[in-house]
Amino acid sequence: MISPGATRVRLGALDDLPPREGRAVTVDGERIAVFRCDGGVRAVSNACPHAGGPLADGVVAGDTVTCPLHMRVVDLRTGDVSDCAGRVRVHDVVVEDGVIYLVRPEPGSEAHPA
């Protein structure tokens, strides 16, 4: 459920995002990787915390993506990264009428801190 103060940002059509692939988008100056996974659409910060690899270019399996630089596996539900103390920021997304939206929390709240 989207909180009353949250805003939605249109990311694109679901049909333009093939299954098990990622796309990079920029929202409010932040690069975000959006994936169509087996478990639905997921979105995380696009930079791997290990060495800044572009996660949108990684290999998707289930609800994970493997960073193309050093093969760290990122859980797209939690932001946890294998063999790395860092995490990626997880963003809420919804799909309505075939359109993917990023859900931004209301100002002053942070749904998924990194």
Which of 90, 98, 99 shows the shortest CA–CA distance to 8? Answer: 99
Q: Which single residue is written with the structure tokens 């694109």?
A: 12
| Domains in the chain, CATH or no CATH each | 7-104 (2.102.10.10)
Residue 28 token pair: 């409010």
pLDDT of residue 2: 62
pLDDT of residue 105: 82
Residues 56-70 pLDDT 10s: 999 999 999 999 999
